[in-house]
Amino acid sequence: MFGGAGHTSATPRRGRPPKTSVLALRCHWTHTLELSNTSPNWWIFKVGKRAKVRVKGQALTHGKAPDTNSVSVQVDFPESPVLRASPYSSLLLCGIANGVRCNFVVDTGASRTIMNVSLIEKANIPLTAAGPAYIRSISGERIPVKGESLSLLDIGDGIPREQLVLVAGISEDCVLGLDFLASHRCLIDPAEQVVVIDGQKVGPPLWDASLALEDVVMPNERETPNFQVLTAFGSGETADEGYKSLKHIRQLTDDAMANLPPEQGRVVGDLLNEFADVFARNNTDLGQIKGCFHSIDVGTSPPIRQAPRRLPPFRLGEVDNLVSEMERNGIVEPSQSPWASPIVLIRKKDGSTRFCVDYRQLNDVTTKDSHPLPKIDELVSSLGNSSWFSTLDLQSGYWQVPMADGDRAKTAFCTPWGLWQFKVMPFGLCNAPATFQRAMGQLFHAQIREGRVKVYLDDVLVDTTSFDEHVHWLRQVFEVLQCAGVKLNPKKCQLFSRQVSYLGYNISEEGIAADPAKTDKVRNWPVPKDRKELKSFLAFCSYYRCFVPNFAQRAAPLYGLQDGKGDYLWSEECEQAFNDVKLSLTEPPVLGHLIPGAPFILDTDACDRSVGAVLSQLQDGQEKVIAYFSKCLSRAERNYCATRRELLSVVMAVKHFRSYGLECGLVTVRSDHASLQWLKSFRELDGQLARWMEILAPYNLKVVHRPGKVHQNADGISRRPCAELNCRYCARQEEKLIVEARLTGIENSAGEWVDEQIKDTNLNVVRNWVSAGVRPSWQDVVSFGSDTKSLWAMFDSLKLKDRLLVRRWDDGKGGFLDQILVPRQLRSKVAEQAHELGHFGRRRCLHMVRRTHYWPGMTRDVKFAIASCEVCGRRGKAGTSPKAPLQTYTTGSPFERLCMDVIGPLPVTSQGNRHLVVVVDAFTKWPEAYAVPDLCAETVAKGLVDTVISRFGVPRELHTDQGRCFESAVFKEVMSLLGIHKTRTSPMHPRSDGQVERFNRTLIDMLAKVIDIRQDDWDLRLPFALLAFRASEHSSTSFSPAQLTLGRELTLPIHLITGVVPEVQSETEYGRALRDQMQVVHEIARDGN
Mean pLDDT within 274-290: 86
CATH number at residue 860: 1.10.340.70
Task: Identify the pLDDT of residue 708.
Answer: 57
Q: Is the pLDDT of residue 77 over 60?
A: no
- Average pLDDT of the chain is 73
Q: pLDDT > 90: what percent of the chain?
A: 7
Mean pLDDT within 401-405: 92
Rounded (5°) CA angle 848-852-856: 90
434 vs 93, higher pLDDT: 434
Q: Which residues contact 100 (CB under 8 A, 6 or more apart)?
A: 119, 122, 123
Instruction: Name the range with the highest mean pLDDT among 290-294, 378-382, 701-705, 757-761.
Output: 290-294
The answer to whether the beta carbons of residues 213 and 57 sit under 8 Å apart is no
> Do 444 and 547 fall into the same domain?
no
Task: Identify the pLDDT of residue 403.
Answer: 93
The answer to whether the beta carbons of residues 647 and 669 sit under 8 Å apart is no
Q: Is the pLDDT of residue 520 over 70?
A: no
Task: Identify the pLDDT of residue 140.
Answer: 67
Q: Which residues pair with 605 in a beta bridge?
A: 612
Q: Is the pLDDT of residue 72 over 70?
A: no
> Do 266 and 352 fall into the same domain?
no
Task: Identify the pLDDT of residue 1085.
Answer: 57
Do the domain assignments include residue 18?
Answer: no
What gap in Å lies between CA 613 and CA 944, rounded to an integer? 54
> Do 357 and 480 fall into the same domain?
yes
The side-by-side arrangement of strands in the sheet containing 499-502 is: 499-502, 505-508, 512-514
Mean pLDDT within 768-772: 85
Cα separations in angstroms, 51 against 60, 227, 271, 810, 1074: 12, 16, 19, 87, 102
Q: Is the pLDDT of residue 123 over 80?
A: no
The answer to whether the beta carbons of residues 809 and 852 sit under 8 Å apart is no
Q: In which element (H, E) is residue 33 found?
A: strand 33-35
Neighbouring C-alpha atoms within 13 Å toward the C-beta of 326: 21
What gap in Å lies between CA 930 and CA 1019, rounded to an integer? 8
The string of pLDDT tens digits covering residues 682-726 is: 555 667 777 787 788 777 888 887 765 555 455 432 333 333 334
Do the domain assignments include residue 300?
Answer: no
Final residue in a domain of this structure, among 241, 260, 292 = 241
Task: Identify the pLDDT of residue 402.
Answer: 93
The string of pLDDT tens digits covering residues 462-519 is: 988 889 999 999 999 998 888 888 999 888 888 888 888 777 777 777 777 766 665 6
- pLDDT interval class at 206 (50, 70, 90): very low
Do the domain assignments include residue 121?
Answer: yes
The answer to whether the beta carbons of residues 862 and 846 sit under 8 Å apart is yes
> Do 744 and 869 fall into the same domain?
yes
Closest alpha carbon to 208 in 46, 83, 25, 93: 83
What gap in Å lies between CA 203 and CA 254, rounded to an integer? 14
> Do 99 and 80 fall into the same domain?
no
Q: Is the pLDDT of residue 309 over 90?
A: no
CATH number at residue 610: 3.30.420.10
Task: Identify the pLDDT of residue 813.
Answer: 63
Mean pLDDT within 333-362: 84
Least confident of 668-672, 850-854, 873-877: 873-877
pTM of the prediction?
0.41
Cα separations in angstroms, 860 against 160, 301, 558, 866, 869: 65, 20, 38, 10, 14
Least confident of 85-89, 271-275, 507-511: 85-89
> Do 959 and 839 fall into the same domain?
no
The answer to whether the beta carbons of residues 1062 and 1054 sit under 8 Å apart is no
Task: Identify the pLDDT of residue 421.
Answer: 94
> Do 471 and 336 fall into the same domain?
yes
Q: Is the pLDDT of residue 212 over 70?
A: no
662 vs 361, higher pLDDT: 361
Do the domain assignments include residue 884?
Answer: no
Final residue in a domain of this structure, among 687, 704, 734 = 734
Domain count, the chain: 8
Going 489 to 492 to 498 to 503, the CA torsion angle's sign is: negative
Q: pLDDT > 70: what percent of the chain?
A: 71
The helix/strand/coil state of 637 is: helix
CATH number at residue 120: 2.40.70.10
Going 114 to 119 to 125 to 126, the CA torsion angle's sign is: positive
The string of pLDDT tens digits covering residues 821-874 is: 888 888 888 888 777 776 777 777 887 787 788 888 888 888 887 877 766 766
What gap in Å lies between CA 926 and CA 894, rounded to an integer? 9
Q: Is the pLDDT of residue 52 over 50?
A: no
The string of pLDDT tens digits covering residues 913-955 is: 888 999 999 888 899 999 998 888 888 999 999 989 988 899 9
Task: Identify the pLDDT of residue 17.
Answer: 35
Task: Identify the pLDDT of residue 774.
Answer: 84
Q: Is the pLDDT of residue 54 over 50?
A: no
The answer to whether the beta carbons of residues 843 and 1033 sit under 8 Å apart is yes
Do the domain assignments include residue 7?
Answer: no
> Do 793 and 937 fall into the same domain?
no
The helix/strand/coil state of 719 is: coil
CA dihedral 934, 935, 938, 944 (to 10 degrees): 100
209 vs 676, higher pLDDT: 676
What gap in Å lies between CA 919 and CA 927, rounded to an integer? 6
Q: Where are the beta strands (DSSP E) in 84-126?
A: 92-97, 100-106, 114-116
- pLDDT interval class at 420 (50, 70, 90): very high
> Do 484 and 621 fall into the same domain?
no
The helix/strand/coil state of 532 is: helix
> Do 49 and 176 fall into the same domain?
no
Preceding omega of 776 cis (within 30 degrees of 0): no
What gap in Å lies between CA 344 and CA 414, rounded to an integer? 11
Final residue in a domain of this structure, among 152, 182, 204 = 204
Q: Is the pLDDT of residue 443 over 80?
A: yes
The string of pLDDT tens digits covering residues 971-1019 is: 988 998 888 998 888 765 555 567 788 788 888 877 877 675 556 778 8
> Do 552 and 470 fall into the same domain?
no
Do the domain assignments include residue 591?
Answer: no
What gap in Å lies between CA 990 and CA 215, rounded to an integer? 116
Task: Identify the pLDDT of residue 43.
Answer: 39
Task: Identify the pLDDT of residue 754.
Answer: 82
Closest alpha carbon to 737 in 1019, 388, 523, 967: 1019
> What is the chain's Cα-based Rg?
42
What gap in Å lies between CA 400 and CA 280, rounded to an integer? 12
Q: Which residues contact 793 (CB under 8 A, 6 or more apart)?
A: none
Task: Identify the pLDDT of residue 426.
Answer: 92
Do the domain assignments include residue 1081?
Answer: no
Rounded (5°) CA angle 304-306-309: 160
Mean pLDDT within 556-566: 80
CATH number at residue 575: 3.30.70.270
Residue-number span of the structural domain to which 714 is assigned: 600-734
What gap in Å lies between CA 88 and CA 82, rounded to an integer? 18
Q: Which residues contact 663 (CB under 8 A, 6 or more apart)?
A: 698, 699, 700
Task: Identify the pLDDT of residue 408.
Answer: 93
Mean pLDDT within 74-78: 40
Mean pLDDT within 254-283: 85
> Do 153 and 192 fall into the same domain?
yes
Q: Is the pLDDT of residue 88 over 90?
A: no
Q: Is the pLDDT of residue 804 over 70?
A: yes
Task: Identify the pLDDT of residue 303.
Answer: 93
Q: Is the pLDDT of residue 360 over 80?
A: yes
Do the domain assignments include residue 847?
Answer: yes
The helix/strand/coil state of 455 is: strand
